[in-house]
Structure 1
Amino acid sequence: MTSLSDNKAVLIAGPTASGKSALALELAQKASGVVINADSMQVYRDLRVLTARPTAEEEADVPHRLYGHVDAGVNYSVGHYVRDAADVLAEAQRAGWLPIFVGGTGLYFKALTRGLSAVPQVAEAVREGVRLRLARDGVEALHAELSRRDPAAGARLNVRDRTRIARALEVIEATGRPLADWHADTTPPLLPAGGTRALFIAPERETLYARIDARFDVMLDGGALEEVARLAARGLDPLLPAMKAHGVPALIRHLRGEISRDEAATIGKADTRHYAKRQFTWFRHQLPEFEWLAPDAARAWVVSV
């Protein structure tokens, strides 16, 4: 393993509930680091409990950045994240902190290490128009329209994938160019190869799934349901990312009286386990340069720092 002094930043990725946040905190304590969020749900201030954000005590112990800094009503994109991360990296350099990025959102890590496609901002009026048509006409109609205007995207996307179909239509309406064209134009990475230590924490699957289930129960007992009730009361667009966080849709159904609390918990746990499985697959294929370590081996490295 390379020594810590060889790195301008440390990247700690892994599936949800793998213990990566605790690892990042320990490393930051030992190495004068700043813990930088790389989880697309932990950016939302409305979801501290349900997304297992660091506690207030942990945030006070060492510097933490990009946690809970976005309102749930914002459609926070990878582009927003990279711009915010650039500001934090500049702050870390001025302060002499080791940047420690930690999270499970593969697209964030890919943008940091590979660069970001130059998709421009879509005007809110365009986005709202697409969403209104989605609600009025249904996802199949929008998929058919997308297939006419951008055949490659239509063929690639599942006919039920509301979010990605809407996004592809928004871009082509706003710019006149398919999303794939914009993805071909990539900005330089903030963290190019050679200057980082990139780890993927890979627990044994059954142990991880048991931790996911146990943690969901702890979150429910710790205020997650009340948190979701406050979020639901805002009447936000259900297509917003925060409204699709694992557990949120099922708990909203429970709050409406459609299903029991136990049924909502069962759905939330299953959704989270399925997401963890996808995280393993995504990182294996999309970011093979990350070094896979069992939790004990990763912590042994931190202890040796």
Structure 2
Amino acid sequence: MTLPVVFLMGPTASGKTDLAMGLFDQRPCELISVDSALIYKGMDIGTAKPSQAELTRYPHHLVDILDPAESYSAADFVDDVLPLIDAALAKGQLPVLVGGTMLYFKALLEGLSPLPKADAAVRAQIEAEAAAQGWEALHRQLAHIDPQAAARIHVNDPQRLSRALEVYRLTGQSLTALQAQAGAPFTYPTVQVAIMPADRVLLRQRIRLRFEQMMANGFLDEVRALHQRQDLHTELPSVRCVGYRQLWAYLDGECSLDEAVEKAIIATGQLAKRQSTWLNGWKWPLLRLETGRSDNLDTLLCELDPS
């Protein structure tokens, strides 16, 4: 029997991780994180990352793979996840992709335009130019060849800026033009699951309680340690993560701690709403589960073993 690839999706605080761990206990699985925040080292409390004990018991791929100074894209995710899926299937294990970064799931299903692999020589040349002329000059170069990319890539994001220039120098085409080209769609059989609360009030309660627990567990100290690093700033994707950017603003003296906490809770709710909107408009078949139901795992197992 051909094993499917399982997608466990849902808004933040909906119970995805617990369901994935339950499935791991019942079936030979490889858990693969689909989360644009869990990739970062040293960002544990505010991302609701599984504890070290949980990660030991339930290993997750694509967790703690980057420093917060680095950037990561949907294309990077697709490049990383496909070999993990192949490896799991080759071992007869169920690939279980669990997370709430819906763009990553969509990019995997629809495919992305083929972009050139990183070229160390070209990158070294770009870095040498940046050292001599400054990143502002390179950003002006990008604005000339790819105005759309320059508009969305900040001058203080050298990794993404370098990548956009690298793509142009390797292909003669802009990053924007290449990204508009259709890529190869996902061909593996899937079981796609959306776990969501029955009402938004319950989800907002769960989000507030979880954030309050994060604060009690030392979230502010975690952000303070990042804030003290000279190489991190508010234009980086890591610092823009929900919760981190609000506490960062407090540490910059822009608001009180109470204001930062309330803004973070509101922003987390807005994130959950966007995630729910993605899933409510999902064009692929979905097994819908309700947060908190005791029979969710049994329902998923029946979907996987219909006989």
- The verdict on a shared fold, with TM-score over 0.5 as the criterion, is yes
Residues in 1 aligned to 2:36 and 2:42: alpha-carbon distance in whole angstroms: 13
1:253 pairs with 2:253: no
| Match of residue 229 from structure 2 | 234
1:222 pairs with 2:221: no
Q: Give the 5 Å matches for 1:120-269.
A: 120=116, 121=118, 123=123, 132-133=135-136, 153=148, 171=164, 174-175=167-168, 177-189=173-185, 191-192=186-187, 195-203=189-197, 204-238=199-233, 239-269=235-265
Residues in 1 aligned to 2:236 and 2:285: alpha-carbon distance in whole angstroms: 30
Letter in structure 2 aligned against 1:171: A
Residues in 1 aligned to 2:273 and 2:153: alpha-carbon distance in whole angstroms: 22
| Match of residue 79 from structure 2 | 83
Offset at 1:217?
A: 0.8
TM-score, scaled relative to structure 1: 0.79
User: What secondary structure, in the 3-state scheme, does the structure 1 residue paired with 2:83 have?
Assistant: helix
Summarize deviations over 1:108-152 as a string: whole Å, max 9, x none: 101221212224459487699699439xx9xxxx8xx95x8667x
Residues in 2 aligned to 1:253 and 1:20: alpha-carbon distance in whole angstroms: 29
User: What secondary structure, in the 3-state scheme, does the structure 2 residue paired with 1:99 have?
Assistant: strand
Structure 1 window deviating more from structure 2 (248-257 vs 217-226): it is: 248-257
User: What secondary structure, in the 3-state scheme, does the structure 1 residue paired with 2:95 have?
Assistant: strand
User: What secondary structure, in the 3-state scheme, does the structure 2 residue paired with 1:264 have?
Assistant: helix
Q: Name stretches of at least 5 consecutive residues in structure 1 with no aligned partner.
A: none
Summarize deviations over 1:144-164 as a string: whole Å, max 9, x none: x95x8667x49xx9x8x6659
User: What secondary structure, in the 3-state scheme, does the structure 1 residue paired with 2:96 have?
Assistant: strand
> Residues 92, 7 of structure 1: CA spacing in aligned structure 2 closer, same or farther, 3 A cutoff?
closer
Offset at 1:298?
A: 3.9
Q: Which of these residues, 12, 16, 25, is aligned with residue 12 of structure 2?
A: 16
Judge conservation of contact 1:126–1:174 (CA < 8 Å) in 2.
no
> Residues 124, 242 of structure 1: CA spacing in aligned structure 2 closer, same or farther, 3 A cutoff?
farther
Judge conservation of contact 1:200–1:290 (CA < 8 Å) in 2.
no
User: What secondary structure, in the 3-state scheme, does the structure 2 residue paired with 1:36 have?
Assistant: strand
Judge conservation of contact 1:171–1:177 (CA < 8 Å) in 2.
no
TM-score, scaled relative to structure 2: 0.79
Residues in 2 aligned to 1:268 and 1:255: alpha-carbon distance in whole angstroms: 14
Residues in 2 aligned to 1:96 and 1:173: alpha-carbon distance in whole angstroms: 39
Offset at 1:209?
A: 1.4
Q: Name stretches of at least 5 consecutive residues in structure 2 with no aligned partner.
A: none
Residues in 1 aligned to 2:3 and 2:296: alpha-carbon distance in whole angstroms: 16
Summarize deviations over 1:61-91 as a string: whole Å, max 9, x none: 2332111121111112222222221232233
| Match of residue 67 from structure 1 | 63
Residues in 1 aligned to 2:278 and 2:211: alpha-carbon distance in whole angstroms: 23
Structure 1 window deviating more from structure 2 (39-48 vs 199-208): it is: 199-208
> What is the count of residue pairs matched by the alignment?
285
Offset at 1:302?
A: 3.3
Q: Which of these residues, 24, 27, 31, is aligned with residue 27 of structure 2?
A: 31
| Match of residue 266 from structure 2 | 270
User: What secondary structure, in the 3-state scheme, does the structure 2 residue paired with 1:102 have?
Assistant: strand
Residues in 2 aligned to 1:246 and 1:32: alpha-carbon distance in whole angstroms: 33
Residues in 2 aligned to 1:248 and 1:125: alpha-carbon distance in whole angstroms: 34
Identity %: 31
| Match of residue 93 from structure 2 | 97
- Aligned-CA RMSD value: 3.4
Letter in structure 1 aligned against 2:299: W
Letter in structure 2 aligned against 1:278: R
Letter in structure 1 aligned against 2:13: A
